[in-house]
Amino acid sequence: MSIVIFGDLFSFPDGGAATNRVHYYARGFKENGLDVTVICFLTRYVGNENGIIDGIRYYYPFQEKTRSRCFFVRFWKKIKKNFATYNLLKTLNRDDKVIAINSWTNLLSTHLFAWLLCKWFRAKLITEGSEHPLRFYQGGRIRRLQGAIKLYIESRFCDGILCISRYLVEFYKKEGVNPKKLLLVPSTVDPSVFSATLRKPIPDKYIGYFGSLSFKRDNVDMLIHAFADFNVHYPDVRLVLGGFCTQDMKEEMLGLIDKLNIQSKVRMLDFLSRKEILEYITNAEVLVMTRSKDLESAASYPSKLTEFLATGAPVISVNVGEVSDFLTDNENAFLVEPGNTRELVNKLDFVYKNFEFARRVGQKGKELTEGIFNYNFQAKRIIDFISSLRANVPDRLS
């Protein structure tokens, strides 16, 4: 039996948070006896990127290298991508029965295509719920109506939904989704990846933040302001920021760093490979996770936070969403309220003044990644969930 992870929200094998979660799912499925194939449904003009990593096969059905100027040619190439995906699924299903497709997408058209593939190959469609499904539909009445219709179709035209938070489980229940179709799967990680001794990329002591870089959602400006105050008393400590950042956001961030006169104390990383990012994460003295308090934070759970915990280093996190469901201040992490720069400064000061205690707290946080956050543990739960759907849930819309 096999499982296909399919969608247009991730690249593979390198990418962002979604890619990391896909990789953990795939490894967990494979280690629990299932064959796994990852299909990146992105429209990217890079040609043949198919390959194998960690025994996981991955494919890009869109094999074009150049973008045509003609709309009709581009449209036809996207249609060809659908046929290529169907033929790939046909081959995979012939070689080893596909029992489920785990779909990752924000597009209704991609979702319905995945649903049709499941009907053709008699597989279960398991959608990924890592973000609030209505986060892009918060405008006027027409926009909200579009979101409600899309949500209704997507939640009914599937067999199961993997929810990253208790918030999303309750949200879908309120929307009338059968609770048997819902499974809570928190952020997952492989702690062994972050336990390895890797080359230290810079000689300095540093505080690290690695993830999406923005002021609005990720509130990285809170960390920069806090570091500027903290660094007055700890001038030998640096701040390293790494992750995806738009050019406009990068310029705004560099402008704030210049304004605070900490240019020599902050390093912003350009694009790095996953291996290079791991070197920076695992060698940080302290790791900080900032985020704004909003709808997206309430519904999701930051994957970077579980990766930070896996290092065993002291981790400071804003207490948003369901962070406090798993973490307790001064026990397995250090928590501060979102947007409270002064509290973050004080927490950084406390950690450095009580560093041996902070390291023990970090080790307690690491223990969580060997249990509830462990990718293999959660993969077993997902496989059991799919088995229960195949046995108990009728093959009909509900």
pLDDT category of residue 394 using cuts at 50, 70 and 90: very low
Give residue 390's pLDDT.
Answer: 65
Q: Is the Cα torsion angle 370, 376, 382, 383 positive or negative in sign?
A: negative
Q: What is the pLDDT of residues 28-42, one digit of tens each?
A: 999 999 999 999 999
Range of lowest pLDDT (78-92, 240-254, 328-342):
240-254
Between CA 375 and CA 123 the distance in angstroms is: 23
Between CA 242 and CA 209 the distance in angstroms is: 6
How far, rounded to the nearest angstrom, does the alpha carbon of residue 252 sit from its chain's CA centroid?
25
Between CA 389 and CA 387 the distance in angstroms is: 5
Pairing of strands 334-336, 266-268: unpaired
Pairing of strands 98-104, 334-336: unpaired
Highest mean pLDDT among 48-57, 146-155, 187-196, 210-219: 146-155
Instruction: Indicate if the pLDDT at residue 240 is higher than 90.
Output: yes
Length of the chain in residues, anyone? 398
Q: Is the Cα torsion angle 302, 38, 30, 181 positive or negative in sign?
A: positive
Q: How many helices (H) and strands (E) does the chain have?
A: 14, 14
Q: What is the pLDDT of residues 252-266, one digit of tens each?
A: 999 999 999 999 999
Angle, in degrees to the nearest 10, between helices 220-231 and 247-259: 20
Neighbours of 93 (CB within 10 A): 18
> Model's pTM, two decimal places?
0.88
pLDDT category of residue 143 using cuts at 50, 70 and 90: very high
What domains sit in the chain, N to C, each tagged with a CATH number? Answer: 2-188+374-392 (3.40.50.2000), 191-368 (3.40.50.2000)
